[in-house]
């Protein structure tokens, strides 16, 4: 579907993001490692319908409607819950296995994934703050690519743990 409707659904970034995501799932299936982490990352996709509805309401010029406001609140709460659960689990795992990370695997790759998650949540928070003044726009597709690269690196690193 992405290739069939290529320019309409998104640009090269959209294709790269989904390609890297499929590659990380493929690596997880082939190596037998990281299925639980892939599932945790897929939980963040549960907010996609809210993002799509926000875009449709924006195109329909319904920014002042009650549905737009309720959708924004649901989107924010969804991101808050999913990212909080994911951060809590990943950082508890890192703290419990800190020396194993340090001794066995490439330490920079693991922290790269965590920095990517922090960057994503920070940019999401900044997007919520800048929606009011509309002076600055954040390129969400660059963040999608960063998260996809982080998941590929995470699955590659889990192979050696």
Decide if 5 is inside a domain: no
Residue 81 predicted with pLDDT over 50: yes
- 114 pLDDT above the threshold of 70: no
Say if 150 falls within a structural domain. Answer: yes
pLDDT at 67: 92
Where does the pLDDT of residue 108 fall: very low under 50, low under 70, confident under 90, or very high at 90 and above? Answer: very low
Return the pLDDT at 38: 73
The span from the CA of 30 to the CA of 92, in Å, is 26
Task: Please report whether residue 4 resides in a domain.
Answer: no
Q: Would you call 60 exposed, middle or buried from its count of C-beta atoms within 10 A (0-12, 13-18, 19+)? A: exposed
How high is the pLDDT of residue 36? 72
13-29 pLDDT tens trace: 777 777 777 777 777 77
User: Domain limits at 116?
Assistant: 13-25+33-158
Instruction: Indicate the pLDDT class of residue 76, thresholds 50, 70 and 90.
Output: confident
Q: Judge whether 59 lies within some domain.
A: yes
Residue 71 domain flag: yes
Q: Give domain status of residue 8, yes or no.
A: no
Global pTM value: 0.50
What domain count does the chain have? 1
- 122, 107, 115, 124: which is closest to 150 by C-alpha? 115
Domain for residue 128, yes or no? yes
For tokens 């982490």, name the residue.
37
Cα–Cα separations (whole angstroms), residue 111 to 114, 141, 154: 5, 22, 9
Residue 118 belongs to some domain of the structure: yes
Whole-number average pLDDT of the chain: 68
* DSSP letters spanning the chain: -TTTTHHHH--HHHHHHHHHHHHHHHHHHHH---HHHHHHHHHGGGGHHHHHHHHHHHHTT-TTSHHHHHHHHHHHHHHHHHHHHHHHHHHHHHHHTHHHHHHHS-HHHHHHHHHHHHHHHHHHHHHHHHTTT-S----HHHHHHHHHHHHHHHHHHHTT-
Assigned token pair, 126: 């900044």
């Amino acid at each position: 579907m992405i290739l069939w409707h290529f320019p309409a659904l998104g640009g090269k970034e959209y294709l790269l993001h989904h390609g890297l995501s499929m590659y990380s799932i493929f690596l997880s299936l082939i190596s037998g490692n990281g299925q639980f982490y892939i599932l945790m990352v897929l939980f963040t996709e549960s907010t996609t319908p809210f993002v799509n509805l926000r875009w449709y309401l924006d195109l329909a010029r319904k920014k002042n409607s009650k549905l737009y406001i309720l959708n924004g609140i649901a989107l924010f709460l969804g991101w808050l819950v999913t990212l909080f659960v994911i951060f809590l689990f990943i950082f508890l795992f890192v703290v419990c296995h800190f020396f194993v990370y340090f001794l066995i695997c490439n330490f920079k790759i693991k922290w790269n994934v965590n920095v990517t998650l922090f960057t994503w949540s920070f940019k999401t928070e900044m997007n919520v703050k800048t929606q009011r003044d509309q002076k600055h726009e954040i390129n969400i597709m660059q963040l999608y690519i960063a998260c996809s690269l982080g998941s590929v690196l995470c699955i590659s690193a889990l192979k050696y743990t």
